Structure 1
Amino acid sequence: MADPAPHIAPTSFNHKFVTTCGYKYHYVEEGDPKGEPLLLVHGFPDLWYGWRHQIKYLAKLGYRVIAVDCIGYGQTESPKELQEFGMKSVCTHLAGVLDALDIPKVTIIGHDWGGAVVWRFGLYYPERLHGIISICTPFNPPATKFRTLEEIVKAVPEFEYQLNFANPATTAKMDHKDIEYMVSQYKHSGFRGPLNYYKTTKVNFDDERSVVGKTIDMPCWIIIAKDDPFLKPHMAARMKDFMPQLKSTMIEAGHFVMTEKPDETNARLKECLEDLAQRRAGQNKASL
């Protein structure tokens, strides 16, 4: 296991709040206010802080970087209604954050649960996107038949951790100051909100009836972590059936690639973003 990346003080970021869909959202924002906007969406058990090694790097490249605490996490509110943790509702909240910040279109980047969110954002709000980048998380098409989480785990044994939330054996090493910050943020509303994402199987099935069979026809990337024990590389094999403009790349790392290999992750993100911009320019030119 690689040594932990250097600690970055949470106080060195610009912390802000916005209210959307009736909920207060906490986010950090760095970079050029007039730069191309990027929306970073974390997974479990991360907060916005899971992107700490990417935020400042991307900001230095000239992007306007926005990393939220997703609903139920950290300093963002944690509603009681399970419906609010479904993918459609989470996407609606994030679209509301963009509205509040007067951002019509964005490139959205996600990891883990955040990766699942960004693909769903592409289904529900394609008109709001320049492109999509998912780290580790493949696209799974909306189901045509409901399966319980137990049935899903039988088909995909790698997801057994979702039933008992066992600690992943490959969790990246973390500086003790990073752990202290994570603990301090979880004191706001505990684990109820974050764990609710795993309880929305039926909520998501019902919500996604309207997008069954829909494809994502826009420039997009998946950055695969070769040694991820849960979201394994082979799970992305059929993604091109649903997104014809998909490209992929791979990093030799485990699930928490952003902290395990931050420099390599940053380099890949830079390459993906430059490619998305080139393809977008080409499409715009072709439409003239």
Structure 2
Amino acid sequence: MIKFHRTPDACFANIPEYPFDPRYHILQDGLRLHYIDEGPPGGIPVLMMHGEPSWSFLYRKMIGPVVNAGYRVLAPDLIGFGKSDKPTSKGDFSYAQHIAWMREWFEAMGLHQVVLACQDWGSLIGLRLVTAMPDKFAAVILSNGGLPAGQDPPPAFAKWRTFARLSPVFPIGGIIQKATRTALDDSVVAAYNAPYDTRASKAGSRIFPALVPLGDNVEVPAQLAAWKVLETFEKPFTCCFSDRDPITKGGDAPFRDRVPGAKHELHRTLSGGHFIQEDDPEGFVGAILDTAKFAGV
């Protein structure tokens, strides 16, 4: 039985610009997964997947415009983040387990013709869903993320991984701010901190950098197999990386070179740092809507 922390609802009482009704799905192992579900129930689903150490709050500026364009937006909180339950032992987290948790939720939702918008760990997990169920997806929009398969870690990421492992303090909101070019309001920084009211609730945020399959990692074979599927993926695949992210700079090149669905002119460079949803949400939304239209959905 997984021991977990459930952040009290009171911690989310003063979240700005986040008017979305909470929805929950109970996974088979008893963990509660939170997600946003906005827009017409029968609309084409746009799945917005966050990374680490953020949560669905990251997409708050993008959800409304995409819903207003007629789409249904789903934005889950990964287990260990946001309003979802948070295992308190780092040993309960693995890359494969996160894929399994998200696939269980995805299948329970009965989704199809999905437009995936993903960034950071949202891409590591989201792209594995695409390669496991390519018939369920209509298009992919990728920003500041990837599907690493044994490469050496970029220097900026190596520093981040060391910080996550060794730093005596781990200020989530401050970390988001440092990876964002926009000056965030104090209330926004506080919102990123809100899910983590105990030290143990940050176990997922702490361990995630160590789970990225770089170097000699147990998940590398599965990543290589996923790339084999991506090399046959012919549906629209758009890269919209930012111009000032030292961690993922140049990360669009493998996708543009190797994914058949990326052979189009919709790729673009967005303006900002790693968390582009804060710096250039309009640009990210534009990439989503243009790609969905190009896909005919």
Runs of at least 5 residues in structure 1 that lack an aligned partner in the other structure = 1-6, 279-288
Identity percentage of aligned residues: 19
Alignment partner, residue 163 of structure 1: 162
Post-superposition shift, 1:81? 6.5
Q: Structure 1 residue aligned with 2:190, among 180, 189, 204?
A: 180
What does 1:65-144 align with in structure 2 at a 5 Å threshold? 65-79=73-87, 80=89, 82=91, 84-86=93-95, 88-140=96-148, 142-143=149-150
2:230 match: secondary structure:
coil
Change (3 A) 1:65 1:184: same
Q: Which moved more, 1:74-83 or 1:222-231?
A: 74-83
What does 1:1-16 align with in structure 2 at a 5 Å threshold? 8-10=16-18, 12-16=19-23
Instruction: Return the TM-score normalized by structure 1.
Output: 0.79
Cα distance in structure 2, aligned partners of 1:83 and 1:277: 40
8 Å contact 1:17–1:25 — kept in the other structure?
yes
Question: How many residues are treated as equivalent by the alignment?
Answer: 259
8 Å contact 2:62–2:281 — kept in the other structure?
yes
2:53 match: secondary structure:
coil
1:174 match: secondary structure:
coil
Post-superposition shift, 1:134? 1.0
Spell out, residue by residue over 1:147-203, the C-alpha distance to the aligned partner (whole angstroms, 9 max, x if none). 7xxxx23xx223222222485744332122222222221226521112222222434
Post-superposition shift, 1:120? 2.1
Post-superposition shift, 1:74? 2.0
Q: Structure 2 residue aligned with 1:223, among 211, 234, 240?
A: 240
Instruction: Return the TM-score normalized by structure 2.
Output: 0.77
Post-superposition shift, 1:49? 0.4
Spell out, residue by residue over 1:80-122, the C-alpha distance to the aligned partner (whole angstroms, 9 max, x if none). 4746430x33233222212222224422211111122222222
Post-superposition shift, 1:50? 0.4
Alignment partner, residue 11 of structure 2: none
1:65 match: secondary structure:
strand
Spell out, residue by residue over 1:209-260, the C-alpha distance to the aligned partner (whole angstroms, 9 max, x if none). 654644341321111101212211x232232343111152111222222111
Cα distance in structure 1, aligned partners of 2:157 and 2:247: 6
Q: What is the RMSD computed on CA atoms of the aligned residues?
A: 2.5
Cα distance in structure 1, aligned partners of 2:218 and 2:35: 26
8 Å contact 2:124–2:146 — kept in the other structure?
yes
Change (3 A) 1:209 1:227: closer
Change (3 A) 1:182 1:243: same
Runs of at least 5 residues in structure 2 that lack an aligned partner in the other structure = 1-14, 168-174
Q: Structure 2 residue aligned with 1:190, among 181, 201, 224?
A: 201
Cα distance in structure 1, aligned partners of 2:77 and 2:191: 14
Change (3 A) 1:106 1:214: closer
Q: Which amino acid aligns with 1:227?
A: R
| Residue 277 of structure 2 is aligned to residue 255 of structure 1 | no
Cα distance in structure 2, aligned partners of 1:123 and 1:132: 11
Cα distance in structure 2, aligned partners of 1:211 and 1:97: 20
Change (3 A) 1:67 1:25: same
2:62 match: secondary structure:
helix
Alignment partner, residue 8 of structure 2: none
Q: Which amino acid aligns with 1:199?
A: A
